Structure 1
Amino acid sequence: MYIFAFYIVYLYLMTKKYRHKIIKEVLQANEVGSQDMLLKLLVDKGFELTQATLSRDIKELKIVKVPTAKGSYVYQLSESMQNLQDDDIPLSSFGFVSIEFSGQLAVIKTRPGYAMAIAGEIDRKSTRYILGTVAGDDTILLIPRENISREEVMASLSVFIPNIE
């Protein structure tokens, strides 16, 4: 009976919800600069997960990689970034540099370390006009939906990127 109860508790503790809770705690307590480092910290806590699972968790938790004062990058919860901003100004206001179209596609340049966060913001707020984004460190590939004009893309982005031209 005790073994069965222990097994049930173990299964609960290793669920996705619990893993997400621990990921948040790990990020708040440590400066995590890579997925490998985060994976190792989670394995040390008893989790068995793959890099692919961790990547999905990072996306689901809206974790972003941000520059530090030391010039390196660390993972943070996006809510943490928003709490650091004055007057709830969108993150894109700080990191956006430029946008340029090539055919139907657009390339957005950002300050180093801001592309993933801004791409996430675009994916959440412009779903009617934007099919999706692909982000690097300082560059975002923006893919509009079919039959959406450049003007519609720019108008949808200008709602939360006030300095877009």
Structure 2
Amino acid sequence: MKTKTSRLETLKLLISSNELGNQEEVLKALRKEGFKLTQATLSRDLKQLKVAKAASMNGKYVYVLPNETMYKRIHKPLSPGEMMRNPGFISINFSGNMGVIKTRPGYASSIAYDIDNCDIPEILGTIAGDDTIFIVIKEGFSHEETAESLNRLHPGF
């Protein structure tokens, strides 16, 4: 049996990556992910997550998470199960002594926290948003050295 925490995480991922307009659509999507629950349980979960309805780009009213601007809709989403198995990292690009790391929505601050607290010698510091991390590389270090250090911290960099 899957846990409530896992169910809530899956529910957040489903809402942030799909246009779900009613509870039946949400229940169907959750069933595809292996969660069997009642409408009453779903209603309590939606209330706990402070889910609301808002107009989408096409005018249809869909469920959204609080502060929806932080949960950008993904055009070709992975399934929630795939998302939960993969780390939040998406890409990294460098320019001079700066780097920009792209993450899945909601992952940037935790990854930046890990970077800042591991004392990576190549990195002066980070600034994190919801899905983007800005890093400053110390003088004398290459992009490759920085990427190698980041990869030791979070495999996949």
Q: What TM-score do the two structures reach when normalised by structure 1?
A: 0.43
Q: What TM-score do the two structures reach when normalised by structure 2?
A: 0.46
Larger helix share, 1 or 2: 1
